[in-house]
Amino acid sequence: RAKFAGKNRYVLFDQKMHDDAVARLTLENDLRRAVVEGQFVLYYQPIVSLSRGRIAGYEALIRWRRPDGSIVMPLEFIPLAEEIGVITEIGNWTMREACRQLAQWRGSHPERMEGVTMSVNLSRRQLSSPALVDQIRQAYGDAGLPADRLILEITENAIMQDAEGAVEVLKQIRGLGVELHMDDFGTGYSSLSCLHRFPISGLKIDRSFVQNVGERRDYAAVVNAIIALAQNLGMALVAEGVETTGQLAMLQSLGSELAQGFLFAKPLEAGKALEFAEHPTRLAFAA
């Protein structure tokens, strides 16, 4: 009897491994097809200026819309896209589409879009692609977007992977006049002492700090230190993941200038994102 159960278990285990492998292969095939057929869409999350009470920019966030209409979130396919090498193609499309969208809005709504920037996430794999700098130049160039309206976001870990190589690429990117922000700041491996060696123009404080800033003094101290660091290094500072008016009040009192989070808006489809720029201020001053 025991033998029988054991054998059954073995069979079940085998079956699960098989199913996992099939599921992964299917996802991989679907993702490759998605790249060829262009099944991606960008959502845009507003970044607001707290002092001016108006929109400062958008972050473009990718979603995969499958042919059946279902939406796949980036954390569910970006890692696989990196692994199988299609991330450079996806990332290039994202840059081009985000630049095109902001350029279009600037044309149709010049006042609303005055000074507004577009942030695009870069993956580690893109950073090591020799074609990257040309692709960036073409993305804003073909769209007719001024280089300084484009912000590229990179994580500490992506840079630290090959710090020497990264510094060179980042310098070339800044040489174009494009801004560079360090994403999820505080969660990675970079040490504060070498931050000034990277030609970074802004820091985005990770939401794990922001979300505890109201309740925990130690988190508030860290956020305070990051804000001071950004100021001393002449960098822009964005607080990510602001969800409550309490967090907002705290961030304002610590001197944070830019904020992004569900309190203001979730990532929005293009039409809604444009509408947000019309009246972004109510919540910024609700605190």
Q: Does 97 bind ligand C2E (CB under 6 A)?
A: no
In sequence order, the 6+-apart residues with CB closer than 8 A to the CB of 46 are 55, 57, 58, 260, 264, 265, 268, 273, 276, 277, 280
44 to 73: interface string for ligand C2E, x by CB under 6 A: -x---------------xx----------x
Interaction between residue 155 and Mg ion (CB under 5 A): no
Q: Confirm if 72 and 90 have CB atoms less than 8 A apart.
A: no
| Separation in Å, CA 22 to CA 19, 31, 71, 79, 209 | 5, 14, 21, 18, 39
257 belongs to the binding site for Mg ion (CB under 5 A)? no
The reply to whether 179 sits near Mg ion by the rule CB under 5 A is: no
* Cβ-Cβ contacts under 8 Å for 274 (sequence gap 6 or more): 105, 109, 112
Would you mind telling me the total number of residues written for the chain in this entry? 287
Contact 131, 93 (CB under 8 A): no
Q: 137-176: which residues touch ligand C2E (CB under 6 A)?
A: 153
Per CB under 5 A, contacts with Mg ion among 99-128 are 121
89 contributes a contact to ligand C2E by CB under 6 A = no
Residue 31: name its binding partner from ligand C2E, Mg ion, none (Cβ under 5 to 8 Å by kind). Answer: none
Distance CA 240, CA 251 (A): 11
Give yes or no for residue 184 binding ligand C2E (CB under 6 A): yes
Contact call for residue 156 and Mg ion (CB under 5 A): no
Taking CB under 5 A as the binding criterion, the range among 108-116, 138-146, 176-184, 219-227 that sits at the site for Mg ion is: 176-184
Using CA atoms, how far residue 49 sits from 46, 54, 69, 89, 236, in Å, is 10, 6, 34, 32, 11
179 or 240: CB nearest Mg ion:
240
Task: Tell which positions 235-264 bind ligand C2E, by CB under 6 A.
Answer: 241-243, 260-262
- Measured from the CB of residue 26, what is the shortest distance to ligand C2E in angstroms? 22
Spell out the long-range contacts of 6-15 with Cβ–Cβ below 8 A and sequence spacing 24 or more. none
Smallest distance, ligand C2E to C-beta of residue 7, A = 43
Contacts with Mg ion by CB under 5 A lie at 121, 153, 183-184, 240
Q: Which residues of the chain form contacts with ligand C2E (CB under 6 A)?
A: 45, 61-62, 73-75, 78, 91, 94, 121, 123, 153, 183-184, 207, 241-243, 260-262, 267
